[in-house]
Chain A
Amino acid sequence: MTDEHSAQLWEAFRGGEARALAALFEAYYEALYHYGLKLTGDEELVKDCIQNLFQKLWRRRAGLRAVQVVKAYLFKALRRHLGDETKLLRQHRYLLPTYSDSFEVTYSHEEFLIAQQGDAEQSARLLAALNQLSKRQREALYLKFFDGFAYERIAEVMALNTQSVRNLTFNALQTLRKVMALVILCLLTG
Chain B
Amino acid sequence: MGRPNHLAALLCPLPTPYATYSTDDFLADESFQAFALDHDPAASQFWRAWVAQHPAKQVEFDEAVALLQLLASSQQPALPQALKQAETAKLWDALHAAPASPRPVLRVGRRARRWTGAAAATLALGLAGLGLWQRTTVAPAWISYATKTGEHRELTLPDGSRVTLNTNSVLKLATTWQPGHAREVWLTGEAFFRVQHTAPARLTAVATAPANVKFTVHAGPLDVAVLGTQFDVLNRAGRTNVVLQSGQVQLRHQLAGRTEELLLKPGEMAEFLPAAPTAPLAKRPVNAPLYAAWTSGHLDFDDTPMAEVITLLEDAYGLHITLRTPAVRQQKLSGSVPNQDLDVLLNTLAKSLDTKAHRTGSQVVFD
Contacts and interface: CB of A to CB of B under 8 A. Distances in A.
A17 interface: yes
A47 B86 CA distance: 11
A72 interface: no
A22 interface: yes
B363 interface: no
A45 B329 CA distance: 75
A26 B84 contact: yes
A89 B110 CA distance: 10
Contact of A55 (B75, B102, B106): B102
Given A51-B105, A55-B104, A111-B74, A45 B91 contact: no
A115 B107 contact: no
Nearest to B24: A174
Contacts, number: 155
Contacts of A144: 33
A50 B70 contact: no
B356 interface: no
Interface in A42-99: 44-45, 47-48, 50-52, 54-56, 58-59, 85, 88-89, 92
B23 interface: yes
Interface residues of A, number: 66
Interface string B109-143: 01100100000000000000000000000110111
Contact of B176 (A18, A27, A150, A187): A27
B24 A177 contact: yes
A136 to B, nearest CB: 15
A112 B74 contact: yes
Nearest to A19: B141
Contacts of B108: 88-89, 92
Interface in A1-60: 1-2, 4-5, 8-9, 12, 17-23, 25-27, 29-30, 33-34, 44-45, 47-48, 50-52, 54-56, 58-59
B114 A44 contact: yes
A184 interface: yes
Interface string B65-107: 0110011111111010001100110111011100100101111
Given A23-B141, A112-B74, A126-B70, A166 B176 contact: no
A115 to B, nearest CB: 5
A26 B110 contact: no
B91 A25 contact: yes
B345 interface: no
Contacts of A174: 24, 27
B24 A48 contact: no
B108 to A, nearest CB: 6
A59 B102 contact: yes
Main secondary structure of the interface of A (DSSP, over half): helix
Q: Which of B62, B95, B157, B176 has the most CB of A within 10 A?
A: B95
Given A58-B94, A173-B24, A51 B73 contact: no
A29 B88 contact: yes
B156 to A, nearest CB: 4
26 contacts: A5-B158, A12-B143, A17-B143, A18-B95, A19-B138, A19-B139, A22-B95, A23-B175, A23-B176, A25-B87, A29-B88, A44-B110, A47-B83, A51-B91, A54-B91, A55-B102, A55-B104, A56-B102, A58-B94, A126-B70, A141-B71, A169-B28, A183-B70, A184-B67, A187-B66, A188-B62
Interface of B: 23-24, 27-28, 30, 33, 39, 62-63, 66-67, 70-77, 79, 83-84, 87-88, 90-92, 94-96, 99, 102, 104-108, 110-111, 114, 138-139, 141-143, 155-158, 160, 175-176
Given A166-B28, A173-B24, A173-B67, 15 more contacts: A1-B158, A1-B176, A4-B156, A12-B143, A19-B175, A21-B95, A23-B176, A27-B176, A29-B79, A30-B79, A48-B110, A111-B75, A145-B72, A150-B30, A170-B28
The 10 closest A-B CB pairs, nearest first, are: A23-B175, A173-B27, A48-B105, A19-B141, A170-B28, A18-B95, A4-B156, A111-B74, A174-B24, A30-B79
